[in-house]
Structure 1
């Protein structure tokens, strides 16, 4: 999101010139109208406009400049009158008020910045730092905090190499704050335990479901309505396929050979915590995993990111071109595109997680080379 932040910073720098532009406009307009219309309201607006845009020193300097412009106009056009005293006193009073507003706004901005920093630091402490390599997979992850939020989000991801293969999780817990953190910690711990002891993917998902329900039963207030959308992935030791259990989450994307295939489930499933409404069956989809392919998982902070026209972001066109087999490149490409789409302002936290199977992995790639696996996102069958 660095590009979006740079663009936002450039906009802020341009906005800081508005008070000066207002003073110049008032001066030119007054001379042009030959004192037929008073431009003192424009001069009075300058320090008030400066309060949210400039520092305290800049706000006071704008007020002083407004008074100086007013005095210059009176001196150029006519003899000072007693009525001018009221106008200049008003400018001084408005400058003092603007300075007070500036102090209050600066304090609020600092408090918000501190809250965001605390939220981001706690989020980093809660989420595990993923290894760069797991078996034949290269791993990359990102967590982007929404600029307008100052609360801890419920996005999480994890990857473990287990006796049953490599297992991955990405999830998005409903809500924010300490309630979401408790659920995130519970799911991460439960997933780690399930990875070691559960023999298959449905059993892993059932353990996560049971942990989610137990948390809901022990909770009170808003936590009793909690749930978590999630995707749990398993890759066997031969790296031949992806086994995916999707619980109401955005479909993962398989990026390979300049194409992107959404790995959609055959039928939707309810999120974790609501599984009792749909029974204990856990559908598992199987997809081909070609060597050199990148699997991308993300939370709704990405696909529900909106532009100024409320159009949602679609990562598929962005990734539908030849990219190096590198998860870092895939994540950077997505985040840069999201930044351009939203103007650098995410509406919600976003977690992204990508793994790339080594291009020289010992897998059967003959079909992929001849094009017969162009539909490598298709179901392989249960």
Structure 2
């Protein structure tokens, strides 16, 4: 399984450095250039003391994109330039003092604000790292083999968000065949992960115990409802979960229940594209809002073909201009690729399409139907 490691352990110095949008050299040239521009413009117009105060806002800007050291140096430079300007070309004494005092106060506030921002970013990074580490410990490592399936996959938390989401997956080898789950919890952070783990635990138990796939899905629905009841008592918001649940036995067909999730795709020489054509059922936790039961849909899944499951972090990935990643247009190219090749290629294309800026967690499963007589294990 290809998985992001999250923020580094030595978060402090790296976080402060990484938070700077300007290198120290660029900042130095920028400060000198802007100062010279204002001084020359003011000298030529005989108004330099009126133009120099524009520098006072610079520390506040640097505090939003740079390090504490860069903000402190910028503030010191501005105080020095303002002081020198009013001494060289003084205005009224009260105006001179007010300009110097304002530049000192704003510079100090900018340094304090920059320090607060960096500490907050480090705290968020530590929380995100702990959440991602917890999620990695719970999710089963891939690739994975069962009597019917070879499964490879990818889980990568979004870099932009402050908290990981609730994307989960699982594969269970049961007496009734191989059961597969991929799910995405509404929201992000530790509460979303708690809901995801409730679904994951219920699936691991029901997938092995229950012979009928609808009964497995009902167990997941009840797990979300129970978790929401506890969340409500604790003052946490109730959440729903989109999920796709599969069951694959020794035959050449498979069955699936779609609970409001991203479509399921098949990659094969004869057919490539979506395999489920009924409207998706209600997400887990919202089953009581509809009178229609979740439908089980059968589809052909011959040996050598591959199923592709993913979360909306794939289908809703956008490039800088807002164009969605065209997943269905890419499927035909992968009809003869192995599961690990499908996952690797999809990951590469997502990063290229988004310019490396994934805005939502990404979970992908590529499932190959084994040929008859293949000896495999889940361990």
Q: CA deviation at 1:241?
A: 2.7
Residues in 2 aligned to 1:211 and 1:147: alpha-carbon distance in whole angstroms: 30
After superposition, residues 195-344 of structure 1 pair within 5 angstroms as 195-217=207-229, 220=232, 225-238=238-251, 240-257=252-269, 260-278=272-290, 281-322=293-334, 325-344=337-356
1:25 counterpart residue number:
34
Unaligned runs of 5+ in 1: 364-382
Asked if the contact 1:120/1:152 (under 8 Å) is kept, the reply is yes
Deviations 1:18-58 (A, max 9, x none): 57425413413543564315341343233332222222222
Q: Give per-residue Cα distances to partners, 1:254-308, cap 9 Å, x unaligned.
A: 2335974022332331222333444584422222224443322122222233445
Classify 1:57/1:186 alpha carbon distance in 2 versus 1 (closer, same or farther; 3 Å): closer
1:104 is matched with which residue?
116
The separation in 1 between residues aligned to 2:346 and 2:53, in whole angstroms, is 47
Q: Match of 2:165, SS?
A: coil
Change in CA separation of 1:224 and 1:41 when aligned onto 2, cut-off 3 Å:
closer
Report which stretch shifted further, 202-211 or 26-35: 26-35
Equivalent-residue separation in structure 2 for 1:275 and 1:163 (angstroms):
28
Structure 1 Cα separation of the partners of residues 281 and 132 of structure 2: 31
Partner residue in 2 for 1:81 = 89
2:88 is paired with a residue whose SS is coil
**Aligned alpha-carbon RMSD (Å):** 3.7
CA shift in 2, pair 1:21/1:212, >3 Å: same
| Structure 2 residue runs without a partner (length 5+) | 8-16, 374-379
- Give the match's secondary structure for 2:337: coil
Q: Which secondary structure state, in structure 2, belongs to the residue aligned with residue 156 of structure 1?
A: strand
- Name the SS for the 1:355 alignment partner: strand
Structure 2 length-normalised TM:
0.77
Take 1:275 and 1:307, find their aligned partners in 2: how far apart are those partners? 34
* Partner SS, residue 246 of structure 1: strand
- 2-side partners of 1:223 and 1:85: how far apart? 55
Q: What secondary structure sits across from 1:220 in the alignment? A: helix
Q: How many residues align?
A: 351
With 163-172 and 124-133 compared, the bigger mean Cα shift is at 124-133
Partner of 2:195: 183
The answer on whether the counterparts of 2:282 and 2:294 sit within 8 Å (CA) in structure 1 is no
Q: What's the CA shift for 1:168?
A: 0.2
Alignment of structure 1 residues 48-127 onto 2, 5 Å: 48-66=60-78, 80-83=88-91, 86=97, 87=99, 90-127=102-139
Residues 125-169 of structure 1 show CA distances to partners (whole Å, capped at 9, x for unaligned) of 333334533335332232222334334532211001122111100
- Give the SS at the match of 2:257: strand
